Amino acid sequence: MIEALLLIEGKSVPDDKLRSLSLANAKQLVYGRFAGGGHVLHVATDTHANLQTAILKFAGVAGVSSVLTLAVRQV
């Protein structure tokens, strides 16, 4: 399993949109919103390719300006 912490930045990005995004082979947990307009997410998946796909899907959400990978580990 591969786990990652992501910082999703952007204005007016609702938590619900990040929680309900269908990632196929990955699962996301939204930790919360920060004052600067960002969200921290925990993403778990089975391959690096599926993590990359999840990151690209988050980047495509309306209002998202950037997706920053904070940490990745293979368990």
Burial class (CB in 10 A: 0-12, 13-18, 19+), 53: middle
* Out of 2-11, 16-25, 29-38, 65-74, least confident range: 29-38
The answer, yes or no, to whether residue 20 has pLDDT greater than 80, is yes
DSSP summary character for residue 61: S
Q: What is the CATH number of domain 2-74?
A: 3.30.70.920
Give residue-wise pLDDT tens across range 23-61. Answer: 988 999 988 877 777 899 999 999 999 999 999 999 999
pLDDT at 73: 97
What whole-number distance in Å separates Cα of residue 61 and Cα of residue 74?
26
Domain boundaries defined on the chain: 2-74
Give residue-wise pLDDT tens across range 59-71. Answer: 999 999 999 999 9
Query: 28 with 70: CB under 8 angstroms?
Result: no
Two structure tokens written together for 1? 């399993």
pLDDT at 4: 96
